[in-house]
Structure 1
């Protein structure tokens, strides 16, 4: 099937110039297909673990080396820009506190050759790295994802009734964990799907940990609006798993206490 691009440009004398460019995918060579990624998705690990033309900096993660381009990293991150300015001898950069796979996820957003997406699996590490390296484009993209995700939550409740009788669809996502809990805290989404809240709470705590210390109040308040509805037992387990410090714990429990007070007053007014 032929794709046709037509460009018309009118001149002052009333005549027009028409240029037509046509191309079929059958005419593209196998090498070109591979180069422009028509048939094959580029393997991120292979791309960065091997030295390529014009790569000019080595970054080491626990003895694993990747090859990157200073210009692209500097354009995305002022942190990288400062590192490269100070690194006059073009020495390798060492990051032993960052997981290589997480860093490669961020690189996919920096390099235009890739077509990445934010999802539930990578959002937590992308939020963290976007703030660490002050990568503003990724910070904004992650915040949009977080806000849209939280907007899909309809309510939080304890599983003290038979959900199926009310037409709810319960989906367990704890893989058998936390079965010792007599009551499950459930999160219901607007599509009427209900899931065990534990792993969602863990993710929310991870996000809060980053947003709180960067004074980003919009996602912070939205995350708290969910956490304040969670039972103390579930919160304690999640906060311990994520290693939340006492300052953020105090903030969460203060907001939760105020929420419960509002619920109490509303019930008594009614």
Structure 2
């Protein structure tokens, strides 16, 4: 092998090594500047930009039914509503132009629609559970019914904490001096708060009130579920 061939071979190796190193550096820089975006990230960002009211208050490509709630009209997809609720399915078969639901709050109904449309990714929480329970039972929206039941059954565990707190309060009350009324009031206020494992505190009265409202709905629907879940 002559000297020229050896030099050419060496240069090619050096060039190849340099290219690989440059590619590696560029790849690292790209990863730093432009973090990888997952499909879930794209979906979440897209959903966050959507205003629920705006989405349903305007006619869209697949909107083929109007629903009137307290003088406000929204546009919906018949197929999605009918698939989610047998009650809505029956009502939609009788109404080709407009469906009247004037006894329902618009915001509450829009909240239920978020659970029907796959476009959205809603969550059940303390602020929306009450209206979701009522609407899911009214329209026999089974998936949402079961989701609400699961939420309530998890929430029922707080009753045990309330009972323990109340028993502890009664025991401590016997030890208080009747001349310290202000201290007693302060203690009672503090004892009415239930502290969870994450450090958050919830008013015991509020929890009992919520549970009474929710359980009233389930009692008329299926009291066996409540008996089983409270054991």
TM-score bin (small chain): 0.5 to 0.7
TM-score, normalised on structure 1? Answer: 0.57
Q: How many residues align?
A: 176
Higher relative contact order (CA 8 A, sep 6+): 2
Gaps of 5+ in 2: 1-29, 174-184
Structure having the larger proportion of residues in strand: 1
Aligned ranges for residues 175-254 of structure 1 at < 5 Å?
A: 183=188, 186=192, 188=194, 191=197, 195-219=202-226, 222=229
Show the counterpart of 2:117. 111
Offset, 1:209:
1.5
Show the counterpart of 2:157. 151
| Alpha-carbon spacing, 1:152–1:41, altered in 2? closer, same or farther (3 Å) | farther
2:45 counterpart SS class: coil
- Tell me if structure 2 keeps the 8 A contact 1:155–1:187: no
- Tell me if structure 1 keeps the 8 A contact 2:114–2:120: yes
Per-residue CA deviation, residues 155-211 of structure 1 (Å, 9 max, x unaligned), is 22345659xxxxxxxxxxxxxxxxx99955736355276533222122111111210
User: Whole-Å Cα distance in 2 between the matches of residues 38 and 182 of structure 1?
Assistant: 46
User: Whole-Å Cα distance in 1 between the matches of residues 78 and 227 of structure 2?
Assistant: 33
Offset, 1:217:
2.1
Establish whether residue 53 from structure 1 lines up as the match of residue 56 from structure 2: no
Gaps of 5+ in 1: 3-23, 26-32, 163-179, 226-270
Show the counterpart of 1:74. 82
Show the counterpart of 2:14. none
| Alpha-carbon spacing, 1:197–1:221, altered in 2? closer, same or farther (3 Å) | farther
1:155 counterpart SS class: helix
- RMSD value over aligned CA atoms? 3.1
Per-residue CA deviation, residues 82-126 of structure 1 (Å, 9 max, x unaligned), is 111222xx1311112211111111100100000111111111111
Show the counterpart of 1:101. 107
Structure having the larger proportion of residues in helix: 2
| Alpha-carbon spacing, 1:216–1:97, altered in 2? closer, same or farther (3 Å) | same
